[in-house]
């Protein structure tokens, strides 16, 4: 099920199911995030506990659940966006009131550790969730026009749209050095596929393997990204863990996000990583797509439908249902 689309005047609640706001996230950045969402005609409020941080950079499970459940229970709230990612969203999964989530389907969008929450909500309720910018990315980075435009296409319209490469990018939301996107997409395995889009952060997905909180891989196109906490060797291993999952032989295609510099992943290493997986030799694979921990980033639906076409020197991606 696709949650209702947004319209001008709708209300967004910022919550913190993983880490609370970083001390580095200034008042000015918070206002910038509000302004960027305001350009979409949205108003913003905050959960009670978004600024709380303990020694694990988060707050209690109970307080995080309170903010999540409050957002779903409030009929004025039509979309939730996490403050940031982190490392602890999977602590919530067994305690979420999935009946409450089903009662009033709403948009929820985030990235990184929010993979755990987004995948679980879709797996347990069948309601489409979204992998896209969190609030810190919308406030800390000044390179967000591309991100905002893709949020507009995803959240305000039902029309299909292509995913096109950004002209410039930065290595993270905190980075100010703009890099020209000369490489664009990295085609590896040729082919064409249409299927259900699921995925997110590669390491966080590994935390869900074998649980009830990861969707079936059958007839899917996987969106996968890895940030700087792992290197290119870890990408090899965490990808293999997914390929060891039941129904991994039914995956129809793979779309990989741009790697941060500290992963050490290059175009050549990416090509070798994919070509080393015999499980992937008959399905289309493309890399260096604008999602993950670099900015700007697109938004893709977890549970939507995507069409992927990869040729020798180019690739096209179209979001069909979102």
Query: Which homologous superfamily is 11-160 in?
Result: Murein tetrapeptidase LD-carboxypeptidase, N-terminal domain (3.40.50.10740)
Query: Which homologous superfamily is 168-321 in?
Result: LD-carboxypeptidase A C-terminal domain-like (3.50.30.60)
Chain-wide mean pLDDT for the chain? 95
pLDDT tens for each residue of 107-163? 999 999 999 999 999 999 999 999 999 999 999 888 899 999 999 999 999 999 999
Closest CA to 65 of 107, 99, 95, 86: 95
pLDDT tens for each residue of 204-217? 999 999 999 999 99
pTM, full prediction: 0.96
Cβ atoms within 10 Å, residue 82:
30
pLDDT < 50 positions in the chain: none
CA torsion sign for 23, 27, 30, 36 is: negative
pLDDT value, residue 173: 80
Domain-wise residue ranges, the chain? 11-160, 168-321
Tokens of 9: 């005047």
Residue 312 among the catalytic residues: no
Residue 134 among the catalytic residues: no
Residue 293 among the catalytic residues: yes
Tell me, what DSSP letter sits at residue 191? E
- Please identify which of the residues 112, 141, 147, 197 carries the catalytic annotation: 112
CA distance 271 to 237: 15
- Please identify which of the residues 52, 173, 196, 225 carries the catalytic annotation: 225
């Amino acid at each position: 099920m696709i949650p209702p689309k947004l319209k001008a005047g709708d209300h967004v609640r910022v919550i913190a199911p993983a880490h609370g706001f970083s001390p580095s996230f200034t008042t000015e950045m918070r206002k910038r995030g509000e302004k960027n969402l305001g350009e979409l005609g949205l108003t913003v409020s905050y959960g009670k506990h978004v600024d709380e941080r303990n020694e694990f950079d988060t707050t209690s499970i109970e307080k995080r659940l309170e903010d999540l459940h409050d957002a779903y229970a409030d009929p004025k709230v039509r979309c939730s966006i996490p403050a940031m990612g982190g490392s602890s969203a999977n602590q919530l999964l067994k305690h979420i009131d999935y009946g409450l989530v089903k009662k009033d389907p709403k948009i929820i969008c985030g990235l990184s550790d929010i993979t755990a929450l987004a995948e679980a909500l879709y797996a347990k309720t069948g309601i489409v969730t979204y992998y896209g910018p969190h609030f810190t990315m919308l406030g800390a980075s000044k390179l967000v026009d591309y991100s905002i435009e893709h949020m507009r296409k995803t959240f305000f319209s039902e029309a299909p749209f292509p995913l096109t490469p950004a002209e410039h990018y930065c290595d993270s939301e905190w980075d100010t050095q703009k890099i020209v996107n000369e490489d664009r997409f990295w085609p590896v395995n040729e082919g064409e596929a249409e299927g259900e889009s699921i995925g997110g952060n590669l390491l966080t997905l590994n935390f869900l393997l074998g649980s009830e909180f990861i969707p079936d891989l059958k007839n899917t196109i996987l969106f996968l990204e890895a940030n700087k906490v792992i290197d290119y060797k870890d990408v090899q291993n965490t990808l293999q863990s997914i390929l060891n999952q039941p129904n991994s032989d039914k995956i129809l295609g793979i779309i990989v996000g741009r790697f941060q510099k500290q992963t050490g992943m290059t175009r050549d290493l990416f090509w070798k990583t994919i070509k080393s997986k015999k499980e992937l030799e008959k399905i289309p694979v493309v890399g260096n797509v604008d999602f993950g921990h670099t900015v700007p980033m697109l938004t893709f639906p977890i549970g939507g439908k995507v069409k992927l076409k990869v040729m020798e020197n180019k690739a096209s991606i179209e979001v069909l249902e979102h």
